[in-house]
Amino acid sequence: MALTLDDDALTEQGLPAARQGRVLLIACGALAHEILALKAANGWDHLDLQCLPAKLHLYPEKIIPAVAAAVQDHKGAYETVFVVYADCGTGGLLFEKCKELGVQMVEGPHCYSFFEGNAVFAEKAETEFTAFYLTDFLVRQFDAFVWRPMGLDRHPELRDMYFKHYTKLVYQAQTDDPALDAKAAECAARLGLAYERRFTGYGDLTGALAALG
Average pLDDT over residues 153-168: 97
The answer, yes or no, to whether residue 160 has pLDDT greater than 80, is yes
Return d(Cα 161, Cα 203) in angstroms, integer: 32
List alpha helices for the chain, DSSP H.
32-42, 60-74, 93-101, 111-116, 118-124, 136-140, 142, 159-162, 178-191, 204-210
Query: What is the model's pLDDT at position 161?
Result: 96
Please state, for a pLDDT cut of 90, what percent of the chain lies above it.
88
159, amino acid identity: R
* Coil/strand/helix, residue 59: coil
Return d(Cα 29, Cα 58) in angstroms, integer: 12
Domain 17-106's class? Answer: alpha beta
**Residue 65: partners with Cβ closer than 8 Å, 6 or more residues away:** none
Instruction: Provide the residue ranges of all domains of the chain, joining segments of one domain with +.
Output: 17-106, 117-199
Query: What is the model's pLDDT at position 17?
Result: 56
Q: Is the full-model pTM beyond 0.75?
A: yes
Q: What would the pLDDT profile of 11-44 be if each residue is shown by its tens digit?
A: 455 555 556 789 999 999 999 999 999 999 999 9
Return d(Cα 18, Cα 189) in angstroms, integer: 51
Q: What would the pLDDT profile of 72-129 be if each residue is shown by its tens digit?
A: 999 999 999 999 999 999 999 999 999 999 999 999 999 999 999 999 999 998 899 9
